[in-house]
Amino acid sequence: MFMKRFLALPAKNIPFITPNEEFYIVQYSGPQKVDVKHWTLKITGKVRKPLSLRYEDILARGSLQKMVTLQCIDNLVAGDLISNAVWKGVSLKTLLEETEPFSSVVDVAMFGADDYSDSIPFMRAMEYDVFLAYEMNGVPLDKNHGFPLRAVVPGIFGIKNVKWLTNIELVNYDYKGYWQKKSWTDEGTIKVTSRIDDPGAYNGIQNGYVLRGLAFSGYNGIGMVELSFDGAETWVRAKLEPTPSPYSWVFWNYTLKDQQPGQYRIFVRATDRIGRTQTDFMARAFPDGTSGLHSIVAFVD
């Protein structure tokens, strides 16, 4: 098997809400064409009351709407495999409660129409912010993003946000999905990250120029973004722009001031609201996601 990757627009041009056609796509075996007339979502396993829900049953239930940024575990530092959308769907906790799970349940395994599967711990699934989405930015999901139903788990890499859901099984063991069987992370927790989008590398700037970028921490929210102009020795704070959701990325800006003419390597780092600071340790994607600090070279006139 292989993964297909499609990049979003260059980072410098991104809007706060990513248009559906520009939202990054990573696929296990290509988009699935699901006949919704014959589709059902089955919730089975270690439960007293299994559920079988048709598409119209899902739509008829009480809904919730959340802005959530998704990020691929294979996203490079300052990469494009990250996007932000407003999702609408049904609470996973509510559905699971209806099945009356046994106390022995450990994991919630999710299966897609593409034969892909992954899992999240039962305790995480029972938190209020995990849901199954059927709309993306005000319209039904398309075939690339999981129609008719996909998982949205804030703070967890995209590998665990299973698309084209067909079955959810509650199991009494640690379920290993496609990537876990290949020794990738089972937790999938998104790391604190940030990047500089403007100016681009090797551009000329002047005092008064406004540097811009974004930061993201999963579901804890960003508390601070800092810039360094002296090789990460000292740091100055950037201004965080308002965001309506703790689950979304944050845009930041900094007005350049009091910098002498010359060449600078500018670093950025973020700290989230629970005190996790972005690490400078450079790591590849395997096994639990990339890390490191983004920097650019700029010339101050």
Q: Where does residue 59 fall: left (phi above 0), alpha (psi -120 to 50 degrees), or beta otherwise? A: alpha
- Residue 26 is which amino acid? V
Per-residue pLDDT of the chain (301 residues; tens, 9 = 90+): 334 333 333 335 679 999 999 999 998 888 899 999 999 999 999 999 999 999 999 999 999 999 999 999 999 999 999 999 999 999 999 999 999 999 999 999 999 999 999 999 999 999 999 999 999 999 999 999 999 999 999 999 999 999 999 999 999 999 999 999 999 999 999 999 999 999 999 999 999 999 999 999 999 999 999 999 999 999 999 999 999 999 999 999 999 999 999 999 999 999 999 999 999 999 999 999 999 999 999 999 9
Instruction: Look at residue 12 in the predicted model and tell me its pLDDT.
Output: 55
Nearest Cα residue to 158 out of 52, 81, 258: 81
Q: How many domains does the chain have?
A: 2
The predicted structure's pLDDT at residue 13 = 62
Domain identity same for 159 and 259? no
Does one domain contain both 264 and 127?
no
Cα distance between residue 102 and residue 75, in whole Å: 37
Domain that holds residue 104: 4-182
Give the per-residue SS3 of the chain: CCCEEECCCCHHHCCCCCCHHHCCEEECCCCCCCCHHHCEEEEEECECCCEEEEHHHHHHCCCEEEEEEEECCCCCCCCCCEEEEEEEEEEHHHHHHHHCECCCCCEEEEEECCCCEEEEEHHHHCCCCCEEEEEECCEECCHHHCCCCEEECCCECHHHCCCCEEEEEEECCCCCCCCHHHCCCCCCECCCEEEEEECCCCEEECCCCEEEEEEECCCCCEEEEEEECCCCCCCEECEECCCCCCCCCEEEEEECCCCCCEEEEEEEEEEECCCCECCCCCECCCCCCCECCEEEEEEEC
Contacts 24+ apart (CB under 8 A), 149-153: 149/41, 149/55, 149/58, 149/89, 151/92, 151/110, 152/66, 152/68, 152/70, 152/87, 152/89, 153/120, 153/124
Let me know whether 24 and 164 are in one domain.
yes
Distance of alpha carbon 24 from alpha carbon 17, whole angstroms: 12
Same domain, residue pair 50 and 160: yes
Question: 């008829």: which residue's tokens?
Answer: 60
Is residue 12 located within the same domain as residue 98? yes
pLDDT at site 30: 84
Q: Does residue 188 form part of some domain?
A: no
Q: Are 276 and 190 in contact (CB under 8 A)?
A: no
Are residue 206 and residue 169 in the same domain, yes or no? no
pLDDT score, position 1: 30
Domain C-terminal end among 147, 182, 217? 182
- Would residue 187 count as lying in a domain? no
| Judgement on whether residues 168 and 217 belong to the same structural domain of the protein | no
Query: Are residues 225 and 156 part of one domain?
Result: no
Of 182, 209, 228, which one is at a domain's C-terminal end? 182
Are residues 155 and 107 located together in one domain of the fold?
yes
Q: Are residues 198 and 253 in the same domain?
A: yes
Q: What is the dihedral sign for C-alpha 282, 288, 289, 293?
A: negative
pLDDT for residue 67:
98
Task: Output the pLDDT for position 278.
Answer: 98
Q: Are residues 205 and 254 in the same domain?
A: yes
Q: Which candidate, 131, 158, 138, 136, places its Cα nearest to that of 147? A: 136
* 128 and 277 inside one domain: no
